[in-house]
A = this chain, B = another copy of it.
Amino acid sequence: MKKVNILLAEDDPNLGQLLKNYLNAREFETTLITDGAQAMKVFRKEKFNICLLDVMMPELDGFALAKGIREIDSNIPIIFLTAKNLKQDVIEGFKSGADDYLTKPFSMEELIYRIEAILRRTSARPQDARAEVYTIGKFTFDVTKQLLVYQDQTRKLTTKESELLELLCRHRNEVLERNFALKSIWIDDNYFNARSMDVYITKLRKYLSKDESVEILNIHGKGYKLLC
């Protein structure tokens, strides 16, 4: 299946690289550009399915860039990434010009939700609405319905439980890094969110304890590994 091409214009190299890695780890192909003028050039040459544009950029800001992009392709979905402390009237312009709009800081998961939602709506991608279901030992985990099934017992998971278990499943039998999980789900990897995550690990361990062959292993100083 052909990958979705994303043009990512973000001048902060750290954030940009993080986003790119994250997106590429999923089913996307990301081109990272760190200034607006350059992004415009690249957009002329290559074919993209969606644009993620930071608002504050040197040379050419996100708003002007969007105008330029829309002159070439008036339908391409655009998502703006903006700082929280922007003035209201500036935000207006961006929000109205975009298919969607994210205020920093945002979680990676949220970004991906929004990209997928837009792709679904503009049907720039097959409508398959795949049922996301994982098998964890003797358990079955339905991500969209947030259900964990063991034999005849069904447990409704809460949103956070489900999000964390999904990440563990996606990285099963390899290390899910703490910071990665925190940024994905809690947005901020601060002390309190880390403690909160501990609590959820405990809960998930309790739920999964019915099957001896399944285990959430702690990798000291790094993260967790779901063995199954």
Further 15 A-B residue pairs, CB within 8 A, beyond A96-B108, A96-B111, A159-B222: A12-B93, A15-B92, A21-B70, A83-B88, A85-B88, A88-B105, A95-B106, A96-B106, A98-B107, A113-B174, A116-B174, A144-B227, A146-B217, A159-B219, A159-B220
Say yes or no: A107 contacts B120, CB within 8 Å: no
Give residues of chain A (118-151) contacting chain B, Cβ–Cβ below 8 Å. 120, 129, 144-146
Give a binary string over A150-182; 1 marks a CB under 8 Å from any B CB, 0 the rest. 000000001110000000000101110000000
Q: Which residue of the partner chain B has the closest CB to A103?
A: B92
Q: Which residue of the partner chain B has the closest CB to A131?
A: B173
Q: Which residue of the partner chain B has the closest CB to A171?
A: B117
Counted per complex, copies of this chain come to 2
Say yes or no: A25 contacts B220, CB within 8 Å: no
- Does any Cβ of B come within 8 Å of A67's Cβ? yes
Say yes or no: B174 contacts A25, CB within 8 Å: no
A164 to B227, CA, bound (A): 21
Neighbour of A21 across the interface among B14, B74, B105, CB < 8 A = B74
Give residues of chain A (68-126) contacting chain B, Cβ–Cβ below 8 Å. 70, 74-75, 83-85, 88-89, 91-101, 104-109, 111, 113, 116-117, 120
A153 to B47, CA, bound (A): 50
**Which residues in B have their C-beta under 8 angstroms from that of A89?**
83, 104
CB distance from A102 to the nearest CB of B (A): 10
Neighbour of A107 across the interface among B17, B93, B96, B106, CB < 8 A = B96
Q: Which residue of the partner chain B has the closest CB to A70?
A: B21
Say yes or no: A18 contacts B70, CB within 8 Å: yes
Q: A113-B174, A144-B173, A159-B221 are in contact. Are A99 and B95 (CB under 8 A)?
A: no
- Does any Cβ of B come within 8 Å of A19's Cβ? yes
